[in-house]
């Protein structure tokens, strides 16, 4: 399977193909996709630090 | 008299010393404890195991891609899907590892003779990034062409390119699926064994509190 | 352990009291969760597979750039011809201060651009009598004569906007015939095969075709269009809207700032800086000041807030 049938079969619900999007401040120039990945890291870190951890029974 | 000497002298040669070392440093209760110190109570601790499991998904999807060989994923929808799994597991691996790394930094997790644990973790990060680069080089598409012709300049600049040729598909394939994974596996294994040997780093003693030695 | 007195003095974890914690269950739950999450991400977002560029597609799309590049390989003015180690001795390669690592290691992958990219592919194919004659004339000419032909043709091609069809007649010797035949071989796809096969029947080394493609303008243009060039933070980017090697942001950063962005030794200098930063990263536990940061920015109070409630 090559060409059009393959393209149809691997088509994803969210299509990330096509011209990329970029943001920049001064010398900084990032793809939006990379900014999202960094944001995921930051949000995961904040969530891990702030969300309450289920309490277990203390021993000793 | 002779019996007494035999009993007190270490036995078993190198094998015996290795076994005693393992028993002393990593007894089963340390290797697989069913409890943790009471201060292990934060979601930040979960990112170590998340990193490890994402690495296993990377390896698993990589094995599937290897079974059918490098051309498969360009011509098969199933192959392309496994390539996608490989890509996204790597992105998750690096996200989880970054959170784990930042968390451990702010816990000063190298305290209490845990410096080697930190160092093996840092080496794992670099080894994973390097392995990922070789993965990008063996995609047999525009990405691979671009990244190899760009990366060669950096590597040639310090003489490494003379032996590690990023434009040699065969060489990069072997580094990516054989040599670097061995390095990653060994360093990660050592990292985990060190974590188990020393236990989870205790809380930083607060300024002025008893036990504060900063 | 007198070397690290303070480090060794941390209390034993077991002295804090403990709670049940099922590591194996945690591992299995995490493995299932991460596997499901990855399978979903792969299904929802897929992955990029931008078709590779071939010498054939390049020659068909931009015959002028192909011809100009082939001429540069023939007269020794291409990037590869002037690269230096590990491909040739035309330059010394980059340096870190007095250290010329590339030059020290030397030429390990010799490329004679005229021979590898132009003459060998022409010699290996079955040629018409006029091409055979042109090849014979070129091979038996002196270096000065060859230089005169290629210089003249280079100027004329430049004037014609890199379009060989618009080049006015002149003293180019056999050069136009050779390049026109090479273009025909490239368009037919046989040059891709010839360049790869110069190392033998079995081959896995794409150095020659990749260097040839990279000497042209079209690969660079395609990369820049996708924001993949070094000065576009391209090291971190992926084609289209996919995330790339985000973890290379520190490496990529230095390529954007002076002196790395314009120094002829830019790559080597970035490596030098990254080597120092990597050493710092590995040795954080031993670096005074750096290892105190966690105490100064008390994120740890959040991590262990439950503990500090009972151990003020």
**What is the per-residue pLDDT across C116-154, written as a single tens digit (0 to 9) for each?**
999 999 999 999 999 999 999 999 999 999 999 999 999
Which of B88, B107, B126 delimits the end of a domain?
Answer: B107
Range of the domain at B84: 43-107
Q: A42 lies in a domain?
A: yes
Q: Same domain, yes or no, for B139 and B98?
A: no
Predicted confidence band at C201 (pLDDT cuts at 50, 70, 90)?
confident
Q: Same domain, yes or no, for B91 and B125?
A: no
Q: Is B34 in contact with C20 (Cβ distance < 8 A)? A: yes
Q: How far apart are CA B47 and CA B97, in angstroms?
A: 7
Q: B16 lies in a domain?
A: no
Q: Same domain, yes or no, for B176 and B100?
A: no
Task: Name the C residues in 196-215 with CB < 8 Å from any B CB.
Answer: 204-207, 210-211, 213-214
Non-local CB neighbours of C227 within 8 Å, separated by 6+ positions: A20, A22, A29, A31, C233, C234, C237
pLDDT of residue B10: 73
Q: B5 lies in a domain?
A: no
Q: How far apart are CA C77 and CA B197, in angstroms?
A: 60
Per mean pLDDT, which range of B119-123, B208-212, C106-110 is the poorest? Answer: B208-212
Is a pLDDT exceeding 80 seen at residue B157?
Answer: yes
Q: A15 lies in a domain?
A: no
Q: A34 lies in a domain?
A: yes
Q: A58 lies in a domain?
A: no
Range of the domain at A27: 22-51
Q: B33 lies in a domain?
A: no
Q: Same domain, yes or no, for B84 and B154?
A: no
Q: C270 lies in a domain?
A: no
pLDDT of residue C9: 73
Which of B60, B82, B107 delimits the end of a domain?
Answer: B107
Report yes or no: B79 at the C interface, CB cutoff 8 Å: no
pLDDT of residue C272: 95
Is a pLDDT exceeding 50 seen at residue C12?
Answer: yes
Q: Average pLDDT, stretch B129-145?
A: 97
Number of CB atoms found within 10 A of residue B194's CB? 20
Q: Considering only residues B168 and B209, tell me which one the structure prediction assigns the higher pLDDT.
A: B168
Is a pLDDT exceeding 90 seen at residue C14?
Answer: no
Interstrand relation of A28-31 and A22-25 (parallel, antiparallel or unpaired): antiparallel
Predicted confidence band at B214 (pLDDT cuts at 50, 70, 90)?
very low
Q: B29 lies in a domain?
A: no
Range of the domain at C126: 55-225
Query: What b-and-e string marks burial along C76-94, b requiring 16 or more CB atoms within 10 Å of the CB?
Result: bebebbebbbbbbeeeebb
Q: Average pLDDT, stretch C300-311?
A: 92
Predicted confidence band at C240 (pLDDT cuts at 50, 70, 90)?
very high
Mean pLDDT of chain C: 94
Percent of chain B with pLDDT over 70: 92
Residues of chain A with pLDDT under 70: 1-11, 56-60
Per the structure, the count of domains in chain B is: 2
B·C CB contacts under 8 A = 295
| Closest by CA position to C187, among listed C47, C54, C81 | C54
pLDDT of residue C198: 79
Q: A33 lies in a domain?
A: yes
**What is the per-residue pLDDT across C248-285, written as a single tens digit (0 to 9) for each?**
999 999 999 999 999 999 999 999 999 999 999 999 99
pLDDT of residue C311: 82
Q: B26 lies in a domain?
A: no
Per the structure, the count of domains in chain C is: 1
Q: How far apart are CA B41 and CA C300, in angstroms?
A: 12
Q: Same domain, yes or no, for B119 and B146?
A: yes
pLDDT of residue A43: 98
Q: Nearest residue of A to residue C14 by CA position?
A: A60
Per the structure, the count of domains in chain A is: 1
Q: Average pLDDT, stretch C162-175?
A: 93
Best of B95, B96, B200 to substitute, by most chain A Cβ atoms within 10 angstroms, is B95
Q: B99 lies in a domain?
A: yes
């Amino acid at each position: 399977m090559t060409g059009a049938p393959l393209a149809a079969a691997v088509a994803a619900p969210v299509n990330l193909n096509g011209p990329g999007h970029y943001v920049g401040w001064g010398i900084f120039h990032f793809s939006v996709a990379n900014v999202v990945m960094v944001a995921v890291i930051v949000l995961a870190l904040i969530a891990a630090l702030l969300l309450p951890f289920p309490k277990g029974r203390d021993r000793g | 008299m002779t019996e007494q000497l035999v009993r007190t002298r270490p036995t078993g040669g190198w094998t015996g010393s290795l076994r005693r070392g393992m028993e002393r440093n990593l007894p089963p209760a340390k290797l697989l404890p069913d409890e943790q110190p009471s201060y292990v109570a934060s979601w930040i601790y979960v990112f170590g195991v998340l990193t490890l499991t994402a690495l296993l998904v990377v390896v698993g999807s990589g094995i599937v891609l290897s079974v059918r060989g490098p051309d498969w994923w360009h011509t098969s929808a199933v192959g392309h899907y496994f390539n996608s799994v490989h890509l996204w597991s790597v992105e998750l691996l690096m996200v989880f590892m970054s959170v784990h790394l930042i968390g451990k930094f702010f816990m000063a997790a190298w305290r209490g003779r845990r410096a080697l644990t930190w160092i093996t973790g840092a080496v794992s990060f670099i080894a994973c990034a390097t392995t990922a680069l070789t993965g990008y080089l063996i995609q047999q598409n525009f990405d691979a062409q671009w990244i190899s012709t760009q990366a060669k300049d950096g590597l040639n600049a310090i003489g490494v390119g003379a032996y590690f040729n990023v434009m040699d598909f065969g060489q990069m394939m072997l580094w990516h699926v054989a040599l670097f994974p061995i390095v990653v596996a060994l360093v990660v294994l050592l990292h985990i064994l060190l974590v188990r040997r020393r236990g989870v780093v205790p809380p930083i003693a607060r300024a002025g509190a008893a036990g504060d030695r900063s | 352990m007198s070397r690290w007195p303070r480090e060794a003095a941390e209390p034993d974890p077991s002295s804090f009291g403990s709670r049940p914690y099922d590591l194996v269950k945690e591992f299995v739950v995490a493995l299932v969760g991460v596997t499901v999450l990855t399978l979903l991400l792969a299904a929802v977002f897929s992955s990029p597979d931008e078709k590779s560029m071939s010498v054939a597609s390049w020659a068909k799309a931009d015959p002028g750039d192909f011809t100009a590049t082939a001429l540069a390989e023939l007269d020794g003015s291409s990037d590869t011809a002037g690269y230096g180690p590990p491909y040739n001795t035309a330059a010394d390669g980059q340096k870190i201060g007095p250290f010329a690592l590339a030059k020290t290691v030397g030429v390990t992958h010799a490329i004679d651009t005229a021979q590898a990219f132009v003459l060998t592919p022409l010699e290996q194919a079955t040629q018409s009598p006029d091409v055979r004659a042109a090849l014979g004339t070129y091979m038996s000419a002196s270096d000065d004569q060859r230089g005169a032909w290629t210089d003249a043709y280079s100027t004329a091609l430049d004037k014609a906007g890199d379009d060989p069809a618009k080049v006015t007649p002149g003293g180019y010797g056999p050069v136009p015939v050779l390049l026109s035949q090479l273009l025909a071989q490239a368009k037919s796809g046989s040059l891709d095969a010839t360049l790869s096969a110069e190392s033998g029947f079995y081959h896995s080394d794409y150095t020659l075709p990749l260097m040839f493609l990279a000497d042209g303008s079209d690969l660079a243009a395609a990369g820049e269009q996708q924001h993949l060039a070094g000065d576009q933070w391209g090291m971190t980017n992926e084609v289209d809207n996919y995330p790339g090697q985000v973890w290379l942001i520190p490496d990529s950063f230095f390529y954007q700032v002076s002196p790395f962005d314009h120094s002829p030794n830019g790559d080597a200098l970035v490596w030098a800086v990254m080597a120092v930063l990597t050493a710092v990263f590995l040795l954080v536990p031993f670096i005074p000041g750096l290892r105190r940061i966690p105490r100064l920015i008390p994120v740890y109070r959040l991590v262990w807030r439950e503990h500090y409630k009972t151990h003020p």
